[in-house]
Amino acid sequence: MTSPIEHSLMVLSSVLEKKHNDIELASYAARIASQCHVAGFPGKNGFSAKHPCNKEIEKITDKLDKKYKVWAYREGVDQEEE
């Protein structure tokens, strides 16, 4: 059984592919969904940012951010050196 967020991301992936014909973006949503089932929040019953699924979600999100320039990679926003 999938979590609600995992299911939602898979539906979003299908919409992106079928309605908007964006197979690449649909793939990103599906990849994030595939990590959701064991990802969690830090805390007593959660997982740290070092959890493999959370790390993978962070990498995928960073790739999306760089490609679509939606948050940290917007024009005019200072970037930290890697």
The answer to whether the CB of 29 falls within 8 A of the CB of 12 is yes
Q: 82 or 57: whose pLDDT is higher?
A: 57
In terms of Cα–Cα distance, which of 22, 23, 26 is closest to 12?
A: 26
In terms of Cα–Cα distance, which of 13, 18, 19 is closest to 60?
A: 13
pLDDT tens track for 54-81: 788 888 888 888 888 777 666 655 555 4
For the whole model, what pTM was predicted? 0.66
